[in-house]
Amino acid sequence: MDGVKAVIDKYADTLENIEKEINMDREYRLYNETMNAKRERLSVIESAYAEVVSKVRERLSSMRGTNDYKKFLRNSILWATSIIESKQLVITASKADEDMVNEIISELNLDATVNTTDKDLLGVIVSSSDGSIKVDATLDSRLSLMEHQIKTLLTHIAATLKSEA
């Protein structure tokens, strides 16, 4: 009987080690699959976000020259002016927006210099006259500030649509 017990004891540790290795391998595979699924989900969210941003940029760009676009520029300038707390400004805008920005400056009685850029800003960058304060009131800047919220909303919408299906 002692011989049987010795054999069982001898192989018990080996069997226990094999069981631990199997469990660790199972946990690693589960972790790996979970991480792959999360990476795929994140990639889909990033793609959806990029597409939403592209559509918003296209839509706003197509509105150039309209009263709605002028309101957007006006609100952007007013927002930046409220932060800078001065009417003496340097406003950087796209060449395509120069005339409209000059109109707004006149309407708001601002003492502002307009610098133009070849970049498609879709909005303005407003600085104090001495350059000590700079407010990026472009669409891209605003979307960047809201990136996390937009991605969270996209995730929520996707989950809602999935549960309705």
How much is the mean pLDDT over the chain? 92
Place 165 in a pLDDT band, splitting at 50, 70 and 90. Answer: low
Q: In what order do the strands lie in the sheet with 123-128?
A: 111-117, 88-94, 123-128, 134-138
Q: Is the pLDDT of residue 162 over 80?
A: no
Average pLDDT over residues 156-164: 82
H-helix segments, 63-88: 67-84
Average pLDDT over residues 110-130: 95
pTM: 0.75
List pLDDT tens digits, range 46-58.
999 999 999 999 9
pLDDT: is 37 or 14 the higher one? 37
CA 1 to chain centre: 71
Tokens of 75: 């609100």
DSSP characters for 37-59?
Answer: HHHHHHHHHHHHHHHHHHHHHHH
List pLDDT tens digits, range 44-102.
999 999 999 999 999 999 999 999 999 999 999 999 999 999 989 999 999 999 999 99
Tokens of 27: 């946990």
Q: How far apart are CA 54 and CA 119, in angstroms?
A: 16
Amino acid found at 64: R
